[in-house]
Chain A
């Protein structure tokens, strides 16, 4: 039987829409799903992007997704550790 990482990748392929669905589908604990997804992002198998609900005209520095130094979080590769508010993170499979 394949390990958690393969199970998570299979769940992505099958079209799940949330981590909770991955846990439901695979039977893995939420903690293991979180760690697996983080690891797959780290390995470059999954792409993580942040999104704010609309771009403020004043620029990224005033946005929940923007980093402290004014760089974009929205659409930027990977979740920004420095983001100043809650932001949506989308995870997609990277085609290899």
Chain B
């Protein structure tokens, strides 16, 4: 394979261009090389005009263009055959494009190699572009550097001195702007001058075959060239993005900004979505329930178990979960906006710094961040951790990250008990979640895995951008769709099971199936058996403990089971307001007159105990049954101890 245009192989280049795209036989051959996006193709078009052929290089799928570069100062014919090589960062190929570039420059016999290689170098990314120059300079070929993007570099406060760069690289450097045809004549002159003289002596390489040592030697050469040729006006790289980053990733200010941003998200979510949520609640408990009740009565099923299943079960339970759809949608949109703008990546820096400061593996924050969306994929994401002990520790910590399913319960309870401060309560739950991750992580590290090493990790921040409507809407919708799918799947199933157990009489004489008072049903009697355990937490009422048991399946079912329980117990009093009033009454009674500490204890218990069966299944898959059970024990211990502490201390003041 060669690019010698006089050789027969050259004619096999499939072309669909003009006939005058073939240079005369005695024309020198110049290859145009450079990293992708360094302006190589723009320069090629500026030099050749329309005299171009394009096609796959024989035997490859790589497209190569060639054309005629007509020069005012002649070679014999006044023409140069110009080949536009595929974009390549280096001559150590990692793609077919780079492989072809290497083959055509250095793998061919010297007689078939190009007479001159013009390497386009991006002045705004000088170091990145110079690696190829270093390697071509080592090959002994004649090299001319075409310096592009000089204006872009200048806008960044970076001036590149072409003369100094030429001295450092040992080859001519011509600053060009192919779009405005600036520097083309100088480039032509430099190329023709090179053609007329023998190649410069190649850049010397150290006597080693070690890949890293060779690359490091090139980078030392590049660094010296960059230092010599560039002058920083002081504004370099300090653009608006950097200025924002200085604040949002600062060690002290960064976490504060993050907390304020997240507080705003929850505040906006709970405030703006509240009227929509109320409207949906009224809709489900009013027209929908009435219509179904009316329909059932008209076919003679008005006071039967079918009415209980449909109205008190599915509509009350699933309907209540669905009222959270606007709230979830709004929060997903806000989080998608933060994510799409690039801010959440900065928040990750803050989180990572905190993880490291307490000696936890920095890399573990990746799955933990995912866990705030959903714990199940977060547990799968722990596979990125190389160390088995780090992986196990992270799998055990993921359930303490507060997933979006738990958010629905926080919002409902927060709204009922704290009114307009619900957003702040939700925000506090996320802080508690982070606190649990840190404390449990520290305890496990100090007890089980004292010798765990840390894995160095660097975060590469993406640039900020204006969020795009399409992406924001797509991300928000897909997360909302997931919420709705859960409402239509596992939550429907759970609601039906709850209804079933609420319909089964626990003792003889309590009534028939579907007619039993819920307090004497298998559901309530079962819950009452474990309720005394929760006496020290202030929420020891069977209505609450039964919801916590059901919450094992999925956290949204805590709401649906409450809704079902109170709808069955108080058939006339359906509706969110009534449900709220019943909840307040229950907590008032169970806490001995200290409902707020009891509610906070419940929220923290909800946060810390096992998130859902899907998470358990994922944990078992990743770390086995023994560690999964250990994790469940840790979660319950933390949940129970925290709830008791909060209630017992809280009731002294509240």
**B369 & A5 in contact (Cβ 8 Å cutoff):** no
Given contacts A55-B370, A90-B459, contact A5 B478 (CB under 8 A): no
The residue in chain A whose Cβ has the minimal distance to the Cβ of B476 is A56
Chain B residues closer than 8 Å to A51, beta-carbon distance: 348, 366, 369-370
| Cα A38 to Cα B312 with chains together (Å) | 60
**A75 & B227 in contact (Cβ 8 Å cutoff):** no
Does B477 sit within 8 A of A, measured CB to CB?
A: yes
Chain B residues closer than 8 Å to A29, beta-carbon distance: 127, 223, 226-227, 230, 232
| Cα A42 to Cα B483 with chains together (Å) | 40
Interface centre among B94, B217, B377, B459 (most CB of A within 10 A): B459
Chain A proximity mask over B212-229: 1 for CB below 8 Å, otherwise 0: 100111011011001100
Q: Which one, A6, A31, A55, A93, contacts B216 given CB within 8 A?
A: A6
Chain A residues closer than 8 Å to B455, beta-carbon distance: 92-93
Which bracket fits the contact residues of B?
35 or more
Q: Which one, B223, B249, B338, B363, contacts A90 given CB within 8 A?
A: B363
**B464 & A45 in contact (Cβ 8 Å cutoff):** no
Q: Min CB distance, A42 to chain B, in Å?
A: 7
**A57 & B125 in contact (Cβ 8 Å cutoff):** no
Chain A residues closer than 8 Å to B362, beta-carbon distance: 17
Does A28 sit within 8 A of B, measured CB to CB?
A: yes
| Cα A16 to Cα B130 with chains together (Å) | 26
**B222 & A32 in contact (Cβ 8 Å cutoff):** yes
**B475 & A63 in contact (Cβ 8 Å cutoff):** yes
Chain B residues closer than 8 Å to A34, beta-carbon distance: 125, 127-128
Q: Which of A22-70 contact B (CB under 8 A)?
A: 22, 28-32, 34-39, 42-43, 45, 48-49, 51-59, 62-64
| Cα A58 to Cα B482 with chains together (Å) | 7
Chain B residues closer than 8 Å to A28, beta-carbon distance: 223
Q: Of B78-86, B339-347, B588-596, which stretch is located at the interface? A: B339-347
Given contacts A4-B216, A64-B340, A92-B363, contact A54 B369 (CB under 8 A): yes
**B219 & A39 in contact (Cβ 8 Å cutoff):** yes
Q: Which one, A3, A15, A93, contacts B223 given CB within 8 A?
A: A3
Q: Min CB distance, A92 to chain B, in Å?
A: 5
**A17 & B356 in contact (Cβ 8 Å cutoff):** yes
Q: Which of B173-221 contact A (CB under 8 A)?
A: 211-212, 215-217, 219-220
Q: Min CB distance, A75 to chain B, in Å?
A: 5
Interface centre among A37, A62, A87 (most CB of B within 10 A): A62
**B219 & A56 in contact (Cβ 8 Å cutoff):** no
Q: Which one, B463, B465, B478, contacts A59 given CB within 8 A?
A: B478
Q: Min CB distance, B452 to chain A, in Å?
A: 15
Q: Which one, A16, A32, A85, contacts B127 given CB within 8 A?
A: A32
Does B14 sit within 8 A of A, measured CB to CB?
A: no
Chain A proximity mask over B449-461: 1 for CB below 8 Å, otherwise 0: 0000011111111
**A42 & B94 in contact (Cβ 8 Å cutoff):** yes
| Cα A49 to Cα B383 with chains together (Å) | 12
Chain A residues closer than 8 Å to B621, beta-carbon distance: none
Chain A residues closer than 8 Å to B462, beta-carbon distance: 86-89
Given contacts A53-B344, A57-B481, A62-B474, contact A18 B458 (CB under 8 A): yes
Chain A residues closer than 8 Å to B125, beta-carbon distance: 31, 34-35
Q: Min CB distance, A85 to chain B, in Å?
A: 5
The residue in chain A whose Cβ has the minimal distance to the Cβ of B385 is A92
Does B439 sit within 8 A of A, measured CB to CB?
A: no
Q: Min CB distance, A54 to chain B, in Å?
A: 2
Does B131 sit within 8 A of A, measured CB to CB?
A: yes
Residues of A in contact (CB 8 Å), total 56
Does B353 sit within 8 A of A, measured CB to CB?
A: yes
Q: Min CB distance, A25 to chain B, in Å?
A: 11
Chain A residues closer than 8 Å to B266, beta-carbon distance: none
Q: Min CB distance, B286 to chain A, in Å?
A: 30
Q: Which one, B363, B461, B471, contacts A88 given CB within 8 A?
A: B461
Q: Min CB distance, B206 to chain A, in Å?
A: 10
Given contacts A3-B217, A55-B373, contact A64 B339 (CB under 8 A): yes
| Cα A3 to Cα B463 with chains together (Å) | 28
| Cα A68 to Cα B485 with chains together (Å) | 24
| Cα A42 to Cα B132 with chains together (Å) | 14
**A86 & B211 in contact (Cβ 8 Å cutoff):** no
Q: Min CB distance, A48 to chain B, in Å?
A: 7
Q: Which one, A17, A48, A49, A92, contacts B353 given CB within 8 A?
A: A17
**A19 & B373 in contact (Cβ 8 Å cutoff):** no
**A15 & B456 in contact (Cβ 8 Å cutoff):** yes
Q: Min CB distance, B372 to chain A, in Å?
A: 6
Given contacts A31-B127, A54-B372, A64-B471, contact A88 B212 (CB under 8 A): no
| Cα A52 to Cα B347 with chains together (Å) | 12
Does B349 sit within 8 A of A, measured CB to CB?
A: yes
**A62 & B475 in contact (Cβ 8 Å cutoff):** yes
Interface centre among A49, A55, A91 (most CB of B within 10 A): A55
| Cα A38 to Cα B614 with chains together (Å) | 38
**A56 & B479 in contact (Cβ 8 Å cutoff):** yes
Sorted nearest first, the 8 A-B pairs with minimum C-beta distance are: A57-B482, A54-B373, A58-B478, A86-B462, A3-B216, A56-B478, A3-B220, A35-B127
Given contacts A17-B362, A39-B219, A54-B374, 7 further A-B contacts (CB under 8 A): A15-B456, A32-B219, A35-B131, A56-B482, A75-B366, A85-B340, A92-B455
Q: Can you pick out 18 interface pairs between chain A and chain B where the beta carbons lie within 8 Å of each other?
A: A4-B216, A4-B223, A5-B212, A5-B216, A16-B458, A18-B249, A28-B223, A43-B212, A53-B338, A53-B373, A56-B482, A63-B475, A75-B366, A85-B339, A86-B340, A87-B462, A91-B459, A91-B460
